[in-house]
Structure 1
Amino acid sequence: MSADQYKDLYFSKTGYNVIVINDKTRIPARFKTTFCNSYVEASTDIYNNLLLNMKNSDVTFVVEDTEVPAHRAILSKQSEYFRAMFSNNFIEGRSDKVILKETNLKAFKRVLAYIYTDAMEYKYKNTLPLEEVFEVFACARFYMIPLTLERISYLATGSPDTPCVLLNNALNYPIDELIPFSVDRIQENVSDIIKTKAFESLSLPSLEHVLKTGLDTQESKVFEALVGWMRCHPDSSSSFPELLKHITLYLLEKEHLDILFKPTHLVTRKCIVDLLSDEQVKARKFKKVENQNVITNVRIVEGTLDCRSNSMTPSSNGAIIFDLKQNYLLNCLELTKVITDRYLYTVAVSMDMRSWKYVVESGDKPTMVTFKESVVRFIRIRALYTLDISISANIGAFYITKLEP
């Protein structure tokens, strides 16, 4: 029977008019469903009633020996994978029962719930166990279903170890869209995370990833957290020298380096000597970028950055310190809207955070500051007389070849 022949049919029990989606799927017309190229255009309320409904389904999936009813038109609308599967080019397009191998049943049902209801938390009391998030994302990706992070908004909440667990699994599966999301959550709470067991729970790939990214805190604190991780993971000792390459060791004091050897040696002293020697060679090199702002992907090693308001707050000593991550030859800083006129501040630059050169000693107005060309890696802004301020993050660092008159 053709689709047109179904238009005048009624459900025997309800008496409602029926609009046909295809020869096997019939949905009451009261739901205001339309028929167009076998795709369903309907509200999620309709789909809620159809989810896992065997009576009105036109295909049955077999997942882990369990039958799961579904509707070809709804799945085809949301997934290119199913659209191709149900075409005439594949045997599944003519089969009432389709076996899905290597598919997790619970994850598949939750992906179906997302397709039918446009909400991941449907029927799950607004929570999805964290350990199942990754199976769901992997399943959605395999079946080419556009599941987005916004659909599981509560991933941003939870215990301090939640971002670390997310990153471990995001790299393990891998789920690319979860990787930057997890790193951002770690950065937002980095001061707390590196002090807890959460940091020690990072897998080796996750640890390497966050060290390469650069954590927004002091190098000494990152180093201490790394040493703690190393002592908790002696089975990864062969990777310790490579991990230490992500720490700028020459910024540390001798007493910091000594914790690598007490109570037991994590690496040889020769390893540290060699790493320091390599760093000192690199520290003598610099990059010269003419007439372009080099402040792009920087670290905030003191103070905090609020990405939403694009503002910064100083640390307890009143300072905000940027790490440019490498040496640049600079002769100009743009400080427009850094601090409001009623606050005084100083600005200094350094290569090693030990020796600072002041370029603004008592600033009280937003300005463009030029100075004798210097090799710079760190920029420090320090407010005078107050800590209760918010500083705009609109700062530029340049090597200008020709100053405007």
Structure 2
Amino acid sequence: MSSSHQYLQTSETKKPTARLGDIEHLTQLSENLSALCLSHEYSDVVFIVEGQKLHAHKVILASRSEYFRALLYGGLKETNQSEIVLNDAPLKAFKILLKYIYTGHMYLMTLKEEIILDTLGLANQYGFLELEAAISDVLKQLLSLRNVCAILDTAHLYGLENLVKVCHSFLDKHASEILAHESFLQLSQSCLVELLQRDSFFAPEVEIFQGVLNWSKVNRDIGDTVLKCVRLPLMTVTQLLSVVRPASIVKPDALLDAIAERTNIRLSSLPYRGQLLMNENVCGPWSGSKVLEGELKEYLLDGDFSAYDMERGYTRHAIVGTGDNGIIVKLGTPSIINHIKLLLWDRDLRSYSYYIEVSMEQKDWVRVIDYSRYSCRSWQYLYFDSRVVQFIKIVGTHNTVNKVFHLVHLEACFEQKIPKMVNDIICPSNNVATLEKSAIVIEGVSRTRNALLNGDTKHYDWDSGYTCHQLGSGCILVQLGQPYIVSSLRLLLWDCDERSYSYYIETSVDVWSWETLVDNTRENCRSWQDITFTPRPVLFIKIVGTNNSANEVFHCVHLECPSHQEGAGTPKPSTSSKTSKEIVSEEAAPLLAPTETATEAEENPVYLDVKNN
């Protein structure tokens, strides 16, 4: 017997994907079924397409398509017919579809685009969803100025939303080119209206008007539906009078209304168009953006947000009050944005207050972020209603150390997913009391500066992994990077033995006015503390211990805000080999007093090593 017999093959000679005893002859099966395609052999139904008879096999078609199952076995009149006329099927596309039904293969790259579109239509009509998606994916790769309008019309006709989105994105990026291309004239009215209504279809409005004018000459008797999508107030008065008026397709009253709107209303209220780049920073030298106002302009957009110190690496402006121009950045192209990310200078504990305004023509400014009443630090994650922007102005209103506003880095983009907002303040769903979100412990005693916020809820013992303060003196004070609307928080009190604590928590947005969050001064609390409350803006969190059943120090291992219970641990058993008497004796050792107010900590932060809990 030949050693090549599959049952006698060793593991070294087997294919990696084959299992012992498996026989796969899929290629032969595909070839045999392919041979039946359009063959009269065993055929029990004939389709007549464009006058040509095409032999087929009911059972194969019914097994591959619900449409054909209903047509051939569902009790319709065609069920008992040996010949079925298909009036709405293109012959070439139907033959290609039959080949796919019998073989599972389709070679699109050898086909003309119009045949591919016809095949897509048949796949949609006959319910071949996987084929429909596959053809759509191929068409996305084949988009060009020559075919995008035809593909968009087809995608719109068959309700292929993903393909429509890709076509729109392509047209957005090539708006000026498509307006001048001959294929634009063949775009259907419904698709053209939908396209022109997009703020991201970005081209000079006079070019859009000229494109619509040319389209209307080819597509007559369509009324003024398309013309209404042209944003006449975005044109200059000169363009309205020299280009629009001579075309004689805009009514005189509409022309006068456009001139009046252009000259009388706020510029920020005009329906601007701008480029839309999803999740891509549009504020950088590569995009043509530049800093117009501010000192040390070269640093803000250089992309370096790690190498900065007291002397370099930031752009600044003096805080002088009303009328301050602040730091102004011009984007290379008018862009649709809803997110700005800032890095405030953060080499010490200082905080800043600021606001942000945007404009299109640097005349009429709209305030999108107002944090002039809040003390913010380090990275700022800011969201607002999407709008077209070309100029961004950041104005510092306060610095807790001096009269200068320092900005290290700026990004602007459009994000598809934005958090829930109340006014211009984020309502986070995940913990923002983290180092990554710029939170910091500004008062409290710890061997490691930010042990409270590092997310470690397992590695703590008698000597480290917690933040504390002396009872009756000071507190644990945490500053978030920016204000948030929150309704819960979670604490882990030190729990390596059976001690209990009493405490209360206050919150503030300005470090001066405090609001009690929870009062557990009469409770014996230990380990994890889950606290919920009415949603409120929070920037500072003050935790004040009032009692410890073992000694005179309040110990907190972890803080998260808002509460995020996933992965939260159970009380951690002690790993110390010391006796309880030794522990109590060491805990009674005197501690140096931490700073007592946020102001003192800001000016002279103190983080003390505590050798004994």
What is the DSSP-based 3-state SS (H/G/I as helix, E as strand, rest coil) of the residue aligned with 1:89? Answer: coil
Unaligned runs of 5+ in 2: 1-22, 291-330, 347-354, 371-375, 395-409, 426-535, 540-613
Is 1:348 the counterpart of 2:357 in the alignment? yes
Once residues 344 and 148 of structure 2 are traced to their aligned partners in structure 1, the CA distance between those partners, rounded to angstroms, is: 35
Give the stretch that moved more between structures: 135-144 or 191-200. 191-200
1:109 has 2:92 as partner: no
Structure 2 CA distance for partners of 1:317 and 1:392, relative to 1, 3 Å: closer
In structure 2, the partner of 1:399 is: 423
Q: Do residues 316 (structure 1) and 288 (structure 2) align?
A: yes
CA distance in 2, matches of 1:354, 1:244: 29
Structure 1 residues 263 and 100: CA distance shift in structure 2, 3 A = closer
Kept in 1: contact 2:340–2:382 (CA 8 A): yes
Structure 1 residues 51 and 375, CA gap change in structure 2 (3 angstroms):
closer
Q: CA separation in 2, counterparts of 1:368 and 1:30? A: 56
Paired with 1:377 and 1:31, the residues of 2 have a C-alpha distance of: 59
1:214 matched to 2:199:
yes
Counterpart of 1:7 in structure 2 is: none
Q: How many matched pairs?
A: 327
- The DSSP-based 3-state class of the residue aligned with 2:110 is coil
Q: Alpha-carbon deviations, 1:189-221, whole Å to 9, x = none?
A: 335323544434434333212012333425xx1
Pick the structure with more helix per residue.
1
Matched, 1:148 2:157: no
- The structure that is strand-richer by fraction is 2
What is the TM-score normalised by the length of structure 2? 0.44
Query: 2:152 and 2:67 mapped to 1: Cα distance?
Result: 27
Counterparts of 1:2-401 in structure 2, within 5 Å, are: 31=25, 44-87=30-73, 89-90=75-76, 92-121=78-107, 126-146=109-129, 147-151=131-135, 153-156=137-140, 157-171=142-156, 174-177=157-160, 178-218=163-203, 221-231=204-214, 233-234=216-217, 241-261=224-244, 263-275=246-258, 301-302=274-275, 305=277, 307=278, 310-313=279-282, 315-318=287-290, 319=331, 321-323=334-336, 335-336=340-341, 348-350=357-359, 354-357=363-366, 366-368=379-381, 377-380=387-390, 393-394=414-415, 399-400=423-424
> 1:272 is paired with a residue of what secondary structure?
helix
Larger Rg: 2
Q: AA paired with 1:148?
A: E
Contact 1:347 1:379 in 2 (8 A): no
Partners of 1:152 and 1:355 in 2: CA distance:
44
Relative to structure 1, the CA distance from residue 52 to residue 348 in structure 2 (aligned partners, 3 Å threshold; closer, same or farther) is farther
1:239 deviates by 5.3
Q: CA deviation at 1:104?
A: 2.4
For 1:54-76, what per-residue CA distance to the aligned partner results, in whole angstroms no more than 9, with x for missing partners? 32434322223322122222211
Q: Percent identical across equivalent pairs? A: 21
Listed one character per residue, the Cα deviations across residues 204-261 of structure 1 (whole Å, up to 9, x for unaligned) are: 333212012333425xx14422323314533657757543432443333212323444
Q: Which amino acid is 1:348 matched to? A: E
Distance 1:198 1:59, change over 3 A: closer
Distance across 1 between alignment mates of 2:81 and 2:221: 53
Q: Relative to structure 1, is the Cα distance of residues 86 and 381 closer, same or farther in structure 2, using a 3 angstrom cutoff? A: same
Contact kept, 8 Å, 2:336 with 2:386, in 1: the verdict is: no
Q: Which amino acid aligns with 2:235?
A: L
Aligned to 1:38: none
Task: Classify 1:161/1:100 alpha carbon distance in 2 versus 1 (closer, same or farther; 3 Å).
Answer: closer
| Alpha-carbon shift at residue 285 of structure 1 (Å) | 12
Once the 2 structures are TM-superposed, how far is the Cα of residue 390 of structure 1 from its aligned partner?
Answer: 8.2
Kept in 2: contact 1:64–1:105 (CA 8 A) = yes
Q: Which residue of 2 aligns with 1:25?
A: none
Aligned-residue offset at 1:43: 6.4
Taking a change above 3 Å as real, the CA distance of residues 102 and 155 of structure 1, as seen in their structure-2 partners, is closer
1:14-48: CA deviation from partner (whole Å, max 9, x where unpaired): xxxxxxxxxxxxxxx98569xxxxxxxx9655543
CA 1:375 to 1:119, structure 2 compared with 1: closer, same or farther past 3 Å? closer
Tell me the equivalent position of 1:23: none
Over 3 Å counting, the alpha-carbon distance change for 1:313 and 1:198 in structure 2 is farther
Amino acid at match of 1:316: G
CA contact (8 A) 1:301 1:321 kept: yes
CA change 1:104–1:198 in 2 (3 A) is closer
Q: Which consecutive residues of structure 1, in runs of 5 or more, have no partner in the other structure?
A: 1-28, 34-41, 287-297, 325-332
C-alpha change, 1:78 and 1:240, in structure 2 (3 Å) is same
| Contact preservation (8 Å) 2:358, 2:367 | yes
Distance 2:173 2:123 in 1: 28
Distance 2:195 2:345 in 1: 37
Query: Runs of 4+ in structure 1 displaced over 6 angstroms?
Result: 278-286, 338-342, 358-361
**1-side partners of 2:171 and 2:95: how far apart?**
30
Output the CA distance in 1 between the equivalents of 2:258 and 2:136: 43
Question: What TM-score results when the alignment is normalised by the length of structure 1?
Answer: 0.62
